[in-house]
């Protein structure tokens, strides 16, 4: 077993499945925007975000707050207790009440639609597993099964019933192969994605410094048909460069203890618990 695959072995010294091996700050850094694009490329999800009147949750208007909210959701779903999940689910529900289509919307959507929430959760599982595999190598089959089963919390922390989560990895593969081709990008959503890729929500100096690199590696993590619809190019040389970059990052992160590898998720979970104790808004 290589040093990279050991980093994702997924079992603690006691031999039990340890979810902390799958909570990784490097994976979040690289995979965040590609995952958002996959989620929003399902038109009802995309228009639900693009037309949302809940501006306090908009990444284009409040990038720091929105990033914190998303990271907190992931940390609560994967590292939190059932009580943490229930509290955060209630907070999400309060925001989702305002997200639904109008007579002028080009597609029908409702943020309480469990099928749309399942798609979001599926993207989060698929994307995290994809980036972690690129960083550290594939999991052992038994651990991969345990990680997949545990990932149902990504859905149930929303409103997806446990029995809606595909029963096993084979069932998930069927779900993914059926639903991914339904993703598409029209001009309205493409304009939104271009803003994300170019980090237009950041101050100009930061945007000029980071946007080209951000656009490049995000392009490499997107499904090919979405790259094409976004007019993005990707060459074999780009793929080799990205593979080297992620492999090198994985070698560095593989040696870190859990508290460092799990950052910022452990920090956002602690912040959520503090805010909950103090009766402050969670999102």
pLDDT in tens, 209-222: 999 999 999 999 99
Which band of pLDDT confidence, cut at 50, 70 and 90, is reported for residue 6? very low
282 in a domain, yes or no? no
Contact between 22 and 78 under an 8 Å Cβ cutoff? The reply is yes
Number of domains comprising the chain: 1
What pLDDT, in 10s, does the model give residues 224-264? Answer: 999 999 999 999 999 999 999 999 999 999 999 999 999 99
259 by Cβ neighbours in 10 Å (0-12 / 13-18 / 19+) ranks as exposed
The residue range of the domain holding 61 is 3-277
Q: Outline where the chain has alpha helix (H).
A: 3-7, 25-40, 43-50, 63-79, 82-96, 114-136, 141-150, 153-156, 169-179, 187-197, 204-220, 224-229, 236-253, 258-261, 265-277
In a domain, residue 283? The reply is no
Considering the entire predicted model, what is its pTM?
0.91
Lowest mean per-residue pLDDT among 34-43, 65-74, 109-118, 231-240: 65-74
12 pLDDT exceeds 80? no
Per the domain annotation, does 72 fall within a domain? yes
- Does pLDDT of 95 surpass 90? no
Q: What average pLDDT is seen over the chain?
A: 91
Is 76 a domain residue?
yes
Confidence tier at 64 by pLDDT (50, 70, 90): confident
Residue 145 maps to a domain: yes
């Amino acid at each position: 077993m290589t040093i990279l695959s050991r980093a994702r072995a997924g079992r603690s010294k006691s031999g039990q499945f340890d979810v902390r091996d799958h909570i990784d700050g490097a994976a979040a850094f690289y995979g965040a925007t590609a995952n958002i694009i996959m989620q929003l490329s399902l038109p009802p999800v995309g228009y639900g975000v693009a037309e949302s009147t809940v501006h306090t949750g908009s990444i284009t208007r409040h990038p720091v707050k929105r990033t914190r909210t998303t990271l907190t959701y992931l940390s609560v779903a994967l590292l939190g207790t059932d009580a943490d999940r229930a509290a955060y689910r209630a907070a999400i529900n309060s925001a989702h009440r305002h997200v639904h289509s109008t007579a002028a919307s080009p597609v029908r959507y409702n943020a309480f639609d469990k099928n749309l929430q399942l798609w979001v959760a599926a993207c989060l599982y698929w994307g995290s597993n994809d980036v972690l595999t690129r960083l550290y190598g594939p999991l052992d089959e038994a651990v991969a099964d345990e990680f997949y089963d545990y990932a149902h919390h990504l859905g149930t922390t929303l409103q997806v019933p446990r029995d809606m989560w595909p029963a096993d990895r084979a069932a998930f593969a069927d779900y993914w192969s059926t639903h991914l081709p339904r993703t598409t990008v029209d001009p309205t959503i493409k304009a939104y994605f271009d803003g994300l890729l170019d980090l237009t929500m950041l101050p100009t100096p930061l945007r000029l410094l980071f946007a080209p690199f951000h656009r490049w590696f995000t392009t490499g993590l997107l499904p090919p048909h979405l790259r094409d619809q976004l007019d993005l190019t990707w060459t074999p040389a780009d793929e080799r460069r990205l593979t080297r970059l992620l492999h090198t990052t994985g070698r560095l992160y593989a040696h870190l203890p859990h508290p460092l590898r799990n950052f910022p998720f452990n920090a956002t979970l602690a912040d959520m618990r503090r805010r909950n104790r103090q009766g402050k808004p969670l999102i």
